[in-house]
Structure 1
Amino acid sequence: MKNPSKSYSIEELCKLLNGSLIGYTDQQISEPEQIESAKESSITFIGHKKYISLWENSNASAAIVDRSLQLTDPGPNKAFIEVGNADLAMAQLLELFTPAAVKLVQGIHPSAIVDETAFIDSGVTIGANSYIGAGVKIGKNATIYPNVTILDEAEVGDHSVIKPGTVIAERCIIGHYSILQANVTIGSDGFGYRPSPDGRGIVKIAHIGNVVIGNQVEIGSSSCIDRGKFSSTTIGDGTKIDNLVQIGHNCKIGRACLIAGSCGISGSVTIGDGVIMAGQVAVKDHVTIGNGVTIGGKSGIINDIPDGKTVLGFPAVEAKETLKQWAIIRRLAKKG
């Protein structure tokens, strides 16, 4: 839902975004919108050449455009705000138009259950029907939405936000300024089983470790992070994890990583800093992925990857090699 109470002139937006104005519009801008769906009161985005052809038929009065595209003629009563990076400018603009946050009753809702041994710091909000177990510590100004479960001796850092339905299991630790979206599960048992000695069943292996999540981490809805078998599964500061991601026991995820939706990371995987993992990547257990690695969508990682590599495919190899293989297969298919 847009925020109709906010509107800006094109000059105001240009100044806020530190851009260069090309053309002019006297239309007040009250919403950002996709180029195909925009109205006269909209500002849209042209960050790639494939969107240039859509501008002619767009109803938007303004667009943020990437300087590399060298666009010069927005049309009558229309304007471009030229910036060095359209994606980052879009992020700034969306902050301007972000609607007010969901209103929760400040303090502890009467229906919440908070163990008498839990430590609740100042400014904390705990929503309806949440459960806070024995020995839990919740830091300053943290927000716990309704129907959250935080089990014994877990910790939530200052200013962190825990959305509805999330479960933080016993002894797990969430850092400061982190966000856990709806229905996240932190600290499930790891997937550890062995055949029984008589060969007639399966023995479950206990997992007695925990999960430690750093500061400014964001975890998407319905993602699961398993506790360590012996020690901790860890997520480094600033890492962002999308929806429906599975991270197995004893994984070590570095700082400032981006892990897209539906990735599956097996147990005891080590991932360095600044790794980018596209959607539906599968990672074999005990693999080490170096710093700054980029992994293409639906790739299968079965071997260690050195720092800085870009890999793709199943099994994943260097992206250039995979693209060559695909080209050869296409040529063979045409000959057939």
Structure 2
Amino acid sequence: MKSFTIAQINTILQGELVGSTSETITGPEELQKAKTGHITFIGSSKYVSRWKDSKASAAIVNANLEVEPGENRALIKVKNADLAMAKVLEAFEPESPVFDTDIHPTAVVHETAQIGEGCKIGANCYIGKDVVLGDGVVLYPNVTILDDTAIGKGSVIWSGTVIRERCEIGQGCIFHNNVSIGADGFGYRPSDDGRGLVKIPQIGTVIIGNDVEIGANSCVDRGKFSATIIGDNCKIDNQVQIAHNCIMGKSCIMAGHSGLAGSVTLGDGVIIGGSASIKDHTTLHSGVTVGAGSGVVGDVAAGKTVLGYPAQDSREMLKQWVMMRKLAKQ
């Protein structure tokens, strides 16, 4: 088990140490659940009053908050407690699962595949024809990489993930359990006789940039033609759907259960809340925020925040909600 003194943690954070504790810090924990030896964090004034009753030995605190450490307790004051706690979590992060061999004997690796230095390939993985794995790629057990796909160095692919043929994955990506990359887009049209549906072939691919993280059970469909594109540093939560020919700019965030219909374009830094849905062929320009549960049916200008179904400017929608509550009370 990892442990640190409060001074060692402050060396990591480079904050202002207030008070002291003789307790060894054995892990981080929520304010209410913390025990002796834990470090917690206080990032908002509404949690300050709870510090007195917490059993934590130390806390990371926003510098603008008025908090007293107490007996045998310490505070580390920082500019942003949330970001500082992320560094502490990284320091306490357990080691990743161990590979006894670099390439497990049950893995199937096509003779034409190019495997970079330091790659790890777990049990029952399948690596297809002309696949290229950059240096240090990690494939946990039961990952499938189909023909002509390339994965950049240092990427980590967790169990159950399937990356279909001809996809391009950047460096330093993380795909969690059961991610699907490059499945067919959802394309059908009524048949001429009106009695059935005709499947539209999906012959494009998927291109994913560097440092992209995709949560468990999320899907990125291949393009009908050309490519579905996810820009550098995008972060995608669990159970997210990204349909064919979508284009995401850099550093976009999509929360759980949200979805993009076909041919949606996101600018840089777009944030989409949980369970929000974006209509096909719409554009959300850079810096847009979409509230949770909203339904976007048209283009949104840069920097706007929209809410509701159909989504509207957040201030206008909040006014409508207030008026509806007043009417309900009459």
TM range (shorter): over 0.9
Q: Mean alpha-carbon deviation: is it higher for 246-255 or for 325-334?
A: 325-334
Deviations 1:114-161 (A, max 9, x none): 111111121111110000111111111100111001111111111111
- Name the structure 2 match of 1:178: 173
Partner in structure 1 of residue 224 of structure 2: 229
User: Whole-Å Cα distance in 2 between the matches of residues 334 and 68 of structure 1?
Assistant: 40
Corresponding residue for 2:233?
A: 238
* Secondary structure at 2:14 match in 1: coil
Over aligned residue pairs, what C-alpha RMSD do you find?
A: 0.9
Of 290, 293, 296, which residue of structure 1 is paired with 2:291?
Answer: 296
C-alpha contact (below 8 Å) 1:241/1:260 kept by paired residues: yes
The one-letter amino acid paired with 1:12 is Q
Match of 2:123 in 1: 128
Contact 1:23 1:75 in 2 (8 A): yes
For residues 65 and 101 of structure 2, what CA distance do their matches in structure 1 show?
48
- Following the alignment from structure 2 to structure 1, what is the Cα–Cα distance between the partners of residues 246 and 89? 34
Q: Is 1:97 the counterpart of 2:92 in the alignment?
A: yes
Query: What is the alpha-carbon distance in structure 2 between the residues aligned to residue 93 and residue 122 of structure 1?
Result: 31
Residue pairs, 1:40-189, within 5 angstroms: 40-71=36-67, 73-189=68-184
Q: Is the 8 Å Cα contact of residues 154 and 169 (structure 1) preserved in structure 2? A: yes
| 1:19 shift after superposition | 0.8
DSSP 3-state at the match of 1:101: coil
Alignment-derived partner of residue 36 in structure 1: 32
Counterpart contact for 1:105–1:127, Cα < 8 Å: no
In 2, the alpha carbon distance for the partners of 1:11 and 1:108 equals 41
Compute the displacement of 1:331 (Å). 0.9
Secondary structure of residue in 1 paired with 2:104 = coil
1:266 corresponds to 2:276: no
Letter in 2 for 1:83: V
Listed one character per residue, the Cα deviations across residues 208-233 of structure 1 (whole Å, up to 9, x for unaligned) are: 00000001100000000000001000
Query: 1:68: how far off?
Result: 2.4
Measured against aligned partners, the alpha-carbon deviations of 1:149-205 in whole angstroms (never above 9, x if no partner) come to 111111111111110000000001111110110100000100000011001101000
Check conservation: 1:255, 1:272, Cα contact below 8 A: yes
Q: Counterpart amino acid of 1:68?
A: N
Correspondence 1:183-202 to 2 at 5 A: 183-202=178-197
CA distance in 1, matches of 2:262, 2:66: 48
TM-score, scaled to structure 1? 0.96
More deviation in 259-268 or 10-19? 10-19
Task: Give yes or no for the alignment of 1:11 onto 2:40.
Answer: no
Q: Secondary structure at the match of 1:68?
A: coil
Give the SS at the match of 2:49.
helix
3-state SS of 1:63 partner: strand
Task: After TM superposition, give the deviation of residue 53 of structure 1 in Å.
Answer: 2.4
Check the 8 A contact 1:106/1:124 in 2, yes or no: no
Give the aligned residue type for 1:131. Answer: Y
> Which residue number corresponds to residue 279 of structure 1?
274
Q: Counterparts of 1:170 and 1:46 in 2: how far apart (Å)?
A: 47
Residue 312 of structure 2 corresponds to which residue in structure 1? Answer: 317
Deviation track 1:10-61 (CA, whole Å, cap 9, x = no partner) reads: 2221222111112221111110001111111000011112222221211101
Q: How big is each residue's C-alpha offset from its partner over 1:67-122, in whole Å with a ceiling of 9 and x where there is no partner?
A: 12232x12111111110000110111111101111112342110001111111121
One-letter amino acid of the counterpart of residue 120, structure 1: I
What runs of 5+ residues in structure 1 fail to find an aligned partner?
Answer: none
Unaligned runs of 5+ in 2: none
4+ long deviations beyond 6 Å: none
Q: Is the 8 A contact 1:105 1:125 kept in 2?
A: no
